C-alpha cells in the first residue's frame, strides 16, 4: 500500500513554502557562486595557510627560508627569492595595475597590504625557475613580497575553476538580495492571485444578490471565506425571490378588488366623485405595478452589450425636444459603452424627467476619458434641500410631500436610476448649482471606445 503525503493548501503553508523556496534558492545560488565565481572552502583554507607560511618565513633567517618553503604542503612548489635576485627584480618591476589581476588574496603586515600578484603566464619568469610549464599547463602562481623586499612564490599545478574570482563581497550580497527579492515577489504573486481573483469577481457581481456563486479556489482559508460568501449570497437570493413573489402575489390579488371597485364606480351618479374614485384606483394600480417592477430588478434580466451611449443620449434629447421640452446634449458624437442599453435609457430618462418637471428643461453634458465617462444632467429649477440630497435615493421618498402622483411621482425614479447605474459599476451624485438648479453627476466605467469620437455635437 502506497502512502501519499498531501501538503494542506493553506495560507500558512504557502507562506512557509515561500520562505523555504527563498532560502533554498539562496543556498543553491551560494553553492554555484562559490563553485564558479569564488574560492572554494579548500582554497580559502589554503590561503589561510599561505598567510601563516608567509609570517613564518618572514621571521626566519634568510639562509633557512628556502628550507622552510620546501616544507609547505598546500602548494605544489614554493620558492623564496632574496632581494636582488632576477625573478625578484622582475616581480618588483611588474606593472602595479597587474598586481591583482584576480584579486584573490590580500595579505597584511601590521595593517599594510603586501604586494601580491596572481598570474598564470610565466613568460616574465621563464629564466631561473625550476618548473615544467609544459607538464602543468593549468598551473597558476601567487607571488607575495615580504617587508625586506624578498619574494615568496607559491605554485599550484591545477586551478579548480576558470572564472575570475570576485573582487569584493558587494556583488555577492547584491546578487543574493536580488535573488531573495525575485523569489519573494514571484511567490507572493501566486499567493495573492486567488485573493485578487476573488476581489475581481466580487466587483463583477456588483452587489447583485441574484448573481451566481463564486468559484471556490485558492488556499483553504480563502475557500472557506468564499464558501461563506456563497452561502450568504444564496440566502439573500432566496430572501429577494420570496419578497418578489410576495409582491407579485399582492399585485395580482389587488387586481380583482380594484376591478370590482372600478365596476361599482360606474354606478355612482356623481360624475366628480366617480372621476376621483377612478383616479385613486389608477394610482393604486400604478403603485403596485411600480413597486413590483422595482423589486423585481427587471433591468438585470437584460443582457449586456456594446452600444453607442452618446447616440442614446442624443435620442433622449431629441425625443424631449420633439415634445416641446428644451433638452440639450453636448459631448462626443459617438461613444461605445458596454452595458444594458434599455436599462440605462430608462435611468437617464428618469433623471431627465425630474429635470424637466422641476426645472423646465435639462442640459446633458457627456465627457469621456480612458477610465470612464461622466454625464452631467443640469436644470434651473429650485434644487433640493441639502439635508435631502441623500434621502431622495430612498424608496418612496419624495421632496414634494403631497401624495399626488401627478406632482410628486411614486418616489422610485431616483432609486431605480441609482440601482441601474450601480449595477453597471457607476454611481450618482447630486449637488445644487450656484444660484439655482440641480446638477446630477453620473459616472460609469468605460469598456471600449469607437474610433472617431473626437467630434462633438450639440442638440
Q: Which CATH number fits domain 220-296: 3.80.30.20, 3.40.50.280, 2.60.120.10, 1.10.287.130?
A: 1.10.287.130
Among the residue ranges 185-189, 323-327, 377-381, 401-405, the one predicted with the least confidence is 401-405
Confidence at residue 208, expressed as pLDDT on a 0 to 100 scale: 58
Task: Please indicate whether residue 182 or residue 452 has the higher confidence score (pLDDT).
Answer: 182
What strand order describes the sheet that includes 116-119? 77-81, 151-156, 140-145, 116-119
pLDDT at residue 340 greater than cutoff 80:
yes
What sign does the dihedral 39-42-48-53 (CA atoms) show? negative
pLDDT at residue 402 greater than cutoff 80:
no
pLDDT tens track for 274-316: 888 888 787 777 777 666 666 655 555 667 788 898 999 999 9
pLDDT at residue 253 greater than cutoff 50:
yes
Angle between helices 220-265 and 11-36 (to 10 degrees): 140
When pLDDT is cut at 50, 70 and 90, the band that residue 457 belongs to is very low
Looking only at the bridges linking them, the beta strands covering 336-339 and 305-308 are antiparallel
pLDDT at residue 97 greater than cutoff 60:
no
Task: Please indicate whether residue 234 or residue 169 has the higher confidence score (pLDDT).
Answer: 234
Is 302-458 in CATH node 3.40.50.300? no
For 114, the grid coordinates are: 603586501
Other C-beta atoms closer than 10 Å to the C-beta of 153 total 22
Domain ranges of the chain: 11-37+169-198, 61-156, 220-296, 302-458
Confidence at residue 329, expressed as pLDDT on a 0 to 100 scale: 93
% of the chain with per-residue pLDDT over 70 = 71
Confidence at residue 291, expressed as pLDDT on a 0 to 100 scale: 64
Report the range out of 39-48, 116-125, 431-440 with the highest average pLDDT: 431-440
When pLDDT is cut at 50, 70 and 90, the band that residue 118 belongs to is confident
Is residue 94 within 8 Å of residue 124, measured between CB atoms?
yes
What average pLDDT does the chain have? 75
Please state, in angstroms and rounded to a whole number, the distance separating the CA atoms of residues 122 and 187.
51
* DSSP conformation class of 213: P
Q: Any long-range contacts for 207-213 (C-beta under 8 Å, 24+ apart)?
A: 207/422, 207/423, 208/297, 208/300, 208/423, 209/233, 209/236, 209/237, 209/239, 209/240, 210/237, 210/240, 210/297, 210/300
Instruction: Tell me the average pLDDT across 76-90.
Output: 86
Instruction: Tell me the average pLDDT across 409-417.
Output: 71
Please state, in angstroms and rounded to a whole number, the distance separating the CA atoms of residues 94 and 124.
9
Confidence at residue 71, expressed as pLDDT on a 0 to 100 scale: 87
Confidence at residue 376, expressed as pLDDT on a 0 to 100 scale: 92
Confidence at residue 417, expressed as pLDDT on a 0 to 100 scale: 83
Amino acid at each position: 500500500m502506497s502512502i501519499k503525503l498531501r501538503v494542506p493548501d493553506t495560507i500558512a503553508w504557502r507562506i512557509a513554502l515561500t520562505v523555504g523556496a527563498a532560502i533554498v534558492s539562496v543556498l543553491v545560488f551560494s553553492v554555484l557562486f562559490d563553485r564558479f565565481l569564488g574560492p572554494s572552502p579548500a582554497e580559502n583554507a589554503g590561503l589561510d595557510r599561505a598567510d601563516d607560511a608567509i609570517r613564518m618565513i618572514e621571521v626566519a633567517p634568510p639562509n633557512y627560508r628556502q628550507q622552510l618553503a620546501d616544507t609547505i604542503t598546500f602548494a605544489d612548489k614554493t620558492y623564496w627569492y632574496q632581494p636582488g635576485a632576477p625573478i625578484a627584480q622582475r616581480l618588483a618591476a611588474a606593472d602595479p595595475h597587474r598586481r591583482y589581476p584576480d584579486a584573490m588574496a590580500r595579505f597584511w603586515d601590521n595593517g599594510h597590504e603586501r604586494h601580491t600578484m596572481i598570474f598564470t603566464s610565466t613568460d616574465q619568469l621563464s629564466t631561473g625557475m625550476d618548473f615544467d610549464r609544459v607538464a602543468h599547463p593549468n598551473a597558476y602562481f601567487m607571488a607575495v613580497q615580504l617587508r625586506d623586499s624578498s619574494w615568496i612564490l607559491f605554485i599550484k599545478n591545477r586551478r579548480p575553476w576558470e572564472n575570475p574570482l570576485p573582487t569584493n563581497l558587494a556583488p555577492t550580497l547584491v546578487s543574493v538580495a536580488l535573488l531573495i527579492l525575485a523569489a519573494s515577489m514571484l511567490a507572493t504573486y501566486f499567493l495573492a492571485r486567488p485573493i485578487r481573483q476573488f476581489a475581481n469577481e466580487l466587483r463583477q457581481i456588483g452587489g447583485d444578490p441574484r448573481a451566481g456563486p463564486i468559484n471556490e479556489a485558492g488556499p483553504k482559508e480563502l475557500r472557506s471565506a468564499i464558501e461563506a460568501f456563497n452561502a450568504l449570497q444564496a440566502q439573500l437570493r432566496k430572501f429577494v425571490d420570496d419578497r418578489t413573489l410576495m409582491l407579485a402575489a399582492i399585485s395580482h390579488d389587488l387586481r380583482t378588488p380594484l376591478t370590482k371597485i372600478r365596476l361599482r364606480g360606474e354606478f355612482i351618479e356623481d360624475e366628480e366623485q366617480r372621476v376621483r374614485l377612478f383616479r385613486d384606483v389608477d394610482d393604486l394600480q400604478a403603485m403596485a405595478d411600480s413597486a413590483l417592477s422595482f423589486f423585481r430588478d427587471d433591468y438585470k434580466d437584460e443582457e449586456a452589450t456594446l452600444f453607442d451611449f452618446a447616440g442614446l443620449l442624443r435620442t433622449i434629447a431629441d425625443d424631449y425636444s420633439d415634445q416641446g421640452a428644451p433638452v440639450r446634449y453636448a459631448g462626443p458624437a459617438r461613444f461605445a459603452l458596454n452595458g444594458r442599453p434599455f436599462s440605462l435609457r430608462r435611468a437617464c430618462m428618469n433623471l431627465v424627467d425630474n429635470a424637466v418637471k422641476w426645472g423646465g428643461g435639462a442640459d446633458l453634458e457627456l465627457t469621456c476619458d480612458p477610465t470612464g465617462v461622466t454625464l452631467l444632467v443640469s436644470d434651473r429649477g429650485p434644487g433640493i434641500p441639502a439635508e435631502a440630497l441623500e434621502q431622495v435615493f430612498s424608496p418612496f421618498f419624495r421632496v414634494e410631500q403631497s401624495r399626488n402622483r401627478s406632482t410628486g411621482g411614486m418616489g422610485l425614479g431616483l432609486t431605480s436610476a441609482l440601482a441601474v447605474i450601480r449595477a453597471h459599476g457607476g454611481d450618482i451624485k447630486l449637488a445644487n448649482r450656484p444660484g439655482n438648479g440641480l446638477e446630477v453627476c453620473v459616472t460609469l466605467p468605460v469598456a471600449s471606445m469607437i474610433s472617431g469620437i473626437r467630434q462633438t455635437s450639440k442638440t
